[in-house]
Amino acid sequence: MVAKVSVVGAAGYTGSELFRLLVTHRGVNIVGAYGSKSAGKCISEIHPNLLGISDMRIEEPNYDKIGKEADIVFMATPHGLAMKSTPGVLKGGAKVIDLSADYRFDKLEIFEKYYGKHVSPGLKSVYGLPELYREKIKRADLVANPGCYPTAAILSLAPLIKSKLIDLNHIIVDAKSGTSGAGATPSEITHHPLAGANFLAYSATTHRHGPEIDQELSKLAGKEIKASFTPHLLPIIRGILSTAHVFLKKKMKKEEILDIYKKFYRKEPFVRIREVLPQINFVVGSNYCDVGVEIDADNNRAVLVATIDNLIKGAAGQAIQNMNIMLGLDEAEGLRDPGMRP
Ligand SMILES: NC(=O)c1ccc[n+]([C@@H]2O[C@H](COP(=O)([O-])OP(=O)(O)OC[C@H]3O[C@@H](n4cnc5c(N)ncnc54)[C@H](OP(=O)(O)O)[C@@H]3O)[C@@H](O)[C@H]2O)c1
């Protein structure tokens, strides 16, 4: 059976990636593309790489209709939109994968502190990180696809947090992203003449992905964790490199830590543990998260580096991985591209 899928926010950067990956997916047909300002335009007018591949027209969303026409609906829209439309889509019978933050938080007060008022807080969602929640994702009607920085940070830290080998009070996540992380709408900070030969920290102590990282690390640890998270903007288009600094409770060798990581992720199709520290161009264009470690013996510090493509494992690829799990398909279907290098 071929499943029917629709993309709301088809004109954006994650919408573009969803289309690019879904058009060659063997288990689904795209039945709807939706947008706001782009409504009325052909998908290939907005995304010229899709000329001759998809001539679907983008429409204004009617969520009652969208919920009835599709098996899975991707919400690739800014925060605040899915919370309004998801109840109607679910009522129509479709399942929802939301790429925004609307359903990522367990605690309403944390969501509202960082994103504002929620209008459908009662809906049950599963945090869509397959490496931690695969069984729940299989049964979910609503999956909250993780943020891009949290995907890299959580995957780099999960095995050591679970193993109880580190000081949980001192975790530092220093992460860098390419400019496509900010979406398709131009802004001063991502405008090429200013971003193209620049490098800066932003929202250094207040970024919205901080509480999301804390939520998931706390669940892994079984106690409240507050990591110190600071993001930076790299003068590249795609990719995230996250460097986590943690302090070991006892002396450990790099090989011992690598063994813990290899065991933890031994069945994972999209996490690769490396002997050398990963670089962004090891993963760009792919759904992989690569993780490596170095030990600073003098300070008992482990440095955990993870890289992802923010638009793929950090967004559209992970959403398709979740869709594959929800539909009972091969988890890697549509996601086998090893990426590009150089
Ligand atoms: N970029 C990333 O690396 C990344 C990674 C992880 C998660 N995310 C999250 O994924 C979501 C999408 O991000 P993005 O980077 O793709 O953003 P984007 O490039 O700004 O695209 C967002 C799209 O949403 C559409 N939209 C806005 N209001 C709408 C409405 N009322 N009805 C229907 N469509 C509407 C817009 O369509 P029109 O152009 O037609 O107005 C736009 O194309 C965001 O929540 C973001 O935080 C992004």
Report CA-CA distances (Å) from 272 to 8, 81, 278, 283, 338.
Answer: 31, 34, 9, 10, 12
What is the DSSP code (8-state) at residue 2? P
Alpha helices in 191-303 (DSSP H): 192-195, 209-221, 254-264
Task: Report DSSP state, residue 57.
Answer: B
Distance 183 CA to ligand 1 centre (A): 7
**Ligand 1: residue whose CA is nearest its atom 2:** 181
Query: Is residue 78 lining ligand 1, measured as CB closer than 6 Å?
Result: yes
What distance, in Å, lies between the first and last C-alpha atoms of the chain?
A: 38
Q: Tell me the CA–centroid distance for residue 16 and ligand 1, in Å.
A: 10
pLDDT at 332: 98
Residue 259: its pLDDT value, please?
98
Ligand 1 closest atom vs CA 11: 43
Evaluate: CB of 282 within 6 angstroms of ligand 1: no
What distance in Å separates the CA atoms of residue 48 and residue 28, rounded to the nearest whole number?
22
Q: Are 318 and 269 in contact (CB under 8 A)?
A: no
Ligand 1 atom at minimum distance from 77 CA: 24
36, 149, 203, 320: residue to mutate for ligand 1 pocket, most atoms within 8 A of CB: 36
239 ligand 1 Cβ < 6 A: no
Give yes or no for a contact between 194 and 182, defined as CB atoms under 8 angstroms apart: no
Residues catalogued as catalytic:
148
Residue 1: the pLDDT is 83
Q: Which residue has the tokens 């994650």?
A: 14
Tokens of residue 340, six digits? 């590009």
Dist. CA 196–CA 70, nearest whole Å? 40
Pocket flag, ligand 1, residue 177 (CB < 6 Å) = no
The edge-to-edge listing of strands for the beta sheet with 301-308 is 200-201, 228-233, 166-177, 240-248, 301-308, 289-296, 271-273
| Domains of the chain, each with CATH number or no CATH | 3-123 (3.40.50.720), 148-311 (3.30.360.10)
Helices (H) and strands (E) in the chain, counts: 11, 13
- Nearest of 133, 122, 1, 13 to residue 72 by alpha carbon: 1
Bridge-based pairing state of the strands 142-144 and 200-201? unpaired
303 forms beta bridges with 245, 294
Report how far residue 246's alpha carbon sits from residue 225's, in angstroms, rounded to the nearest whole number: 13
Mutate to test the pocket of ligand 1, among 7, 13, 213, 318 (most ligand atoms within 8 A of CB): 13
Mark the ranges of the chain whose per-residue pLDDT is less than 70: none
3-class DSSP assignment, residue 166: strand
Instruction: Output the pLDDT for position 306.
Output: 99
Q: Residue 20 has which token pair?
A: 């690019």
Q: How close is the Cα of 140 to the center of ligand 1, in Å?
A: 23
Q: Which residues are 33's β-sheet partners?
A: 7
pLDDT in tens, 181-190: 999 999 999 9
Q: Is 231 in the pocket of ligand 1 (CB under 6 A)?
A: no
